[in-house]
């Protein structure tokens, strides 16, 4: 069974469909994540889109909590304390 002009069979679809679902869910989660700033959100979207699977793994490993702060914010917080 081939899928129209894409020449994809059932074996390929078993691999591609879960990856597409994971990609869209990761992008959706990054866009709607309340713990990220606007800057972090846009940076994570770029990493997810351009980094492919590695970008997704990085987002779920370190980015979803929003703990990381920008270097200028770190210096500002360091001076205040």
What are the extents of the domains in the chain? 4-80
User: In whole angstroms, what separates CA 21 from the centre of its chain?
Assistant: 12
pLDDT in tens, 5-53: 677 777 888 888 899 999 999 999 999 998 888 888 999 999 999 998 8
For residue 3, pLDDT beyond 70: no
pLDDT in tens, 71-80: 555 555 555 5
Q: 34-41 long-range CB contacts below 8 Å, 24 or more apart?
A: 35/64, 35/65, 35/66, 36/63, 36/66, 37/66, 39/70, 40/66, 40/68, 40/70
């Amino acid at each position: 069974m081939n899928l129209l002009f894409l020449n994809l069979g059932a074996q390929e679809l078993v691999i591609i469909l879960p990856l597409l679902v994971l990609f869209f869910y990761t992008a959706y989660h990054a866009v709607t994540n309340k713990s990220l700033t606007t800057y972090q959100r846009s940076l994570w979207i770029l990493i997810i889109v351009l980094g492919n699977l590695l970008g997704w793994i990085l987002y779920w490993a370190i980015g979803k909590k929003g703990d990381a702060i920008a270097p200028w914010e770190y210096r500002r917080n360091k001076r205040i304390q």
